[in-house]
Homo-oligomer: A and B are copies of this chain.
Amino acid sequence: MSYQFAKNVDALQPSAIREILKFTGMPGVISFAAGSPAAEAFPVDTIRTISRELLEQDPILALQYNITEGYLKLRTELKQWMTEKHCFDPAMDDLITTSGAQQANELSCKVLLDRGDTMFCEAPSFIGSLNAFRSYGVNLVGIPMEQDGMDLSILESAIQQHPNPKLVYVIPNFQNPTGRVMSLEKRKGLYALACRYNLIILEDNPYGDLRFAGEDVPSIKSMDTEGRVIYSGTFSKILAPGLRVGYVSAPAEIISKITVCKQVSDVHTNIWAQAVCAEFLARTDMEPYLDTLRAVYRRKCQLMADGIRQHFSDRVTWEMPEGGLFLWCTLPESCDVSAFCKKAVEEYSVAVVPGNAFLVDESAKSHSFRLNYSTPSDEQIEKGIAMLGSMTKKFLANA
């Protein structure tokens, strides 16, 4: 029996990093290839208490169907928090909870774009989002990243050149995979372009609360006077990703379409998890709590950075992030980064992700690779970076 699949789905290729990820489950392999938050930072005791109380006091709430828009108490708590952060505008917006920010980003694409319409993303960008967009057959165009975000002049040319430009997808804070922050100037410039060319901006902010150095930059959503910004967030990095709770704040008309699409996708998000998030927000003074997370990420990032300084060839350039989960390294242009990453995992048992995996066209050239410091233990960071460092010296001696 041979199956004929939908064109959009058939075109989804297995990721370029599959070969490397195959190794990450093997004993002895140290993985800097993941994107999981630090499990030691999960507020296990609080979640346990909230869950016990919920299942004792209101089990039917946790177990019966609920509305697609999301558990009312969670949305109320979230709106308040979002309003404080200027990521929710009570006069214009509505808010829906989603099954992770993944669903928020996927549905934003589904409601706005027809097959063949154009959307823009940073190049490189988050693979999960890129695949979500690909699954709707859109014309996905990567715009090169500079140190302070997407190159806006290239974006403007691309907007003029491509058919039906509709959406720009950006991760302004501690971007995946580069760890870079979009400057205030670029945020304003991007918003101005969106207004000029009638585009919607999808601002994905999974890491924004994990800033451990420098100063916060206002969200693009906070500049949105026209109703062009869809803001997506998640509890995955500040609470726990297994909960699968994210959210979207956007003008009510967009949220109403996202709600229809969410209803046909999974009816509503697991209600136990939504109740856990709601109670967590209600009981927790968030800034001091987030400071404890930031301390964990600051320390792990510093440990990795110290190792890099000590062990890496000085021909590897790298960028010290001010938050988030990732550190971006770049080899000299003469180097084949795919060969480097393959060798790293096969001969040195250290898994890292080659930069081309994050490009719209995975066969395009990249000289960078992504390191994750949130998932590995301190010991793994020290040992893995030392091994990777010794490899950079040998590999680059021959390059």
Binding site for B on A (CB under 8 A): 1, 3-9, 12, 36, 39, 42, 44, 47-48, 51-52, 55-56, 59-66, 99-100, 102-103, 106, 110-115, 117, 128, 131-132, 134-135, 166, 200, 226-228, 236, 240-244, 251, 253-254, 257, 260-261, 263-273
A166: which B residues are within 8 A, CB to CB? 4
Please determine whether B241 and A65 come into contact, CB atoms closer than 8 angstroms. Answer: yes
Please determine whether B264 and A243 come into contact, CB atoms closer than 8 angstroms. Answer: no
Interface of A is mostly: helix
* Contacts A42-B59, A44-B63 known; 19 new A-B pairs at CB < 8 A: A3-B112, A3-B253, A6-B110, A12-B260, A36-B64, A36-B65, A39-B64, A65-B241, A99-B99, A99-B265, A100-B267, A110-B135, A115-B115, A135-B260, A135-B264, A242-B270, A242-B271, A242-B272, A272-B272
Please determine whether B99 and A266 come into contact, CB atoms closer than 8 angstroms. Answer: yes
What is the distance, in angstroms, from A140's C-beta to the closest C-beta of chain B? 13
Please determine whether B6 and A114 come into contact, CB atoms closer than 8 angstroms. Answer: yes
Please state the number of chain copies in the assembly: 2
In the complex, A52→B110 CA distance in Å?
38
Neighbour of A265 across the interface among B65, B102, B243, CB < 8 A:
B102
Neighbour of A102 across the interface among B135, B266, B273, CB < 8 A:
B266
Most chain B beta-carbon contacts within 10 A, residue among A39, A56, A117, A273: A273
Most chain B beta-carbon contacts within 10 A, residue among A63, A254, A271: A63
In the complex, A44→B56 CA distance in Å?
9
What is the distance, in angstroms, from A341's C-beta to the closest C-beta of chain B? 21
Known: A6-B113, A56-B48. A128 touches B267 (CB 8 A): yes
In the complex, A132→B260 CA distance in Å?
9
In the complex, A135→B262 CA distance in Å?
11
Please determine whether B36 and A5 come into contact, CB atoms closer than 8 angstroms. Answer: no
Neighbour of A241 across the interface among B51, B64, B244, B257, CB < 8 A:
B64
Most chain B beta-carbon contacts within 10 A, residue among A60, A117, A226, A251: A60
In the complex, A43→B371 CA distance in Å?
45
Known: A5-B112, A99-B99. A244 touches B263 (CB 8 A): no
Please determine whether B63 and A266 come into contact, CB atoms closer than 8 angstroms. Answer: no
A7: which B residues are within 8 A, CB to CB? 114
17 interchain pairs (CB within 8 A)? A1-B226, A3-B112, A4-B166, A6-B111, A8-B110, A8-B114, A9-B257, A9-B261, A47-B59, A48-B55, A51-B52, A52-B52, A65-B242, A128-B264, A131-B263, A132-B265, A243-B270
Q: Which residue of B lies closest to A227 (CB)?
A: B1
Please determine whether B265 and A244 come into contact, CB atoms closer than 8 angstroms. Answer: no
What is the distance, in angstroms, from A277's C-beta to the closest C-beta of chain B? 12
A44: which B residues are within 8 A, CB to CB? 55, 59-60, 63
In the complex, A253→B4 CA distance in Å?
10
Neighbour of A242 across the interface among B12, B66, B110, CB < 8 A:
B66
In the complex, A267→B236 CA distance in Å?
11
A3: which B residues are within 8 A, CB to CB? 112, 200, 251, 253-254
Known: A6-B113, A112-B5, A226-B1. A240 touches B47 (CB 8 A): no
